[in-house]
Amino acid sequence: MHIHGGPHSAYGHIFFHEFQLLAAKGYVVVFTNPPGSTNYGQEFVIQTKEDWGGKDYRALMEATKYVNENFDFVDKDNWGGSFGGYMANWMITQTDFFKAAVSARSTCNRFSMFGTSDVGFFNGNFEQKGNPWDNPDFYLKVSPISYADKVNTPVLLIHSEEDYRCPISQAEEFFTALKWQKKDVAMVRFPKENHELSRSGQPKHRKERLSHIVSWFEKYLPVN
């Protein structure tokens, strides 16, 4: 399951090398545009307003269920996820369905994101309910780190040290919370890279990133 970030972006009809790489390694790649995506009009986009981890999460799990029930060539007991970072972290706190996960340029704490991300202050104006100091309970309710004790899925965190959209402190918070509990977690950090690592990063780093993703899935989801 490969999930785009944003959440207000979308997959389109275009060549995507990550999909092709995973498919070449023997994996079935499932990708969708869940609620919040920008391809079905404004009403569809705003379905995640004040509901991160709600309709979007349920739609993604429904897509997983659909594929499991309708395609015989899918190994129904072995699913992994290379996700949009927030949703990757959120999903493994809500379900043990996935056998492995990769979370890239992720966020885990919507409260601390408000003051550290270059667009964090937008949250109080649209995405979340008010300012974090006025409504801290809501911000933490939609933060994966609040449910770190629920994680049982092995997860690889990939992050760039100069990411100002999703500061590396977000991955560090989640890594520390999981490592403290002796969960199966690893973190790879890339120096001199930003939020665009996968798209316009240094070629050697882009190649290394893909190698880490493939290696993680091959470790926990070996292809027969």
Catalytic site residues?
A: 82, 195
Does residue 171 contact residue 139 with C-beta atoms inside 8 Å?
no
Question: In whole angstroms, what separates CA 157 from the centre of its chain?
Answer: 9
Exposed/middle/buried for residue 41 (C-beta within 10 Å: 0-12, 13-18, 19+): exposed
State how far the Cα of 189 lies from the Cα of 172, in Å rounded to an integer. Answer: 10
The number of beta carbons lying within 10 Å of the beta carbon of residue 76 is 11
SS3 assignment, position 41: coil
Does residue 221 contact residue 213 with C-beta atoms inside 8 Å?
no
Exposed/middle/buried for residue 11 (C-beta within 10 Å: 0-12, 13-18, 19+): middle
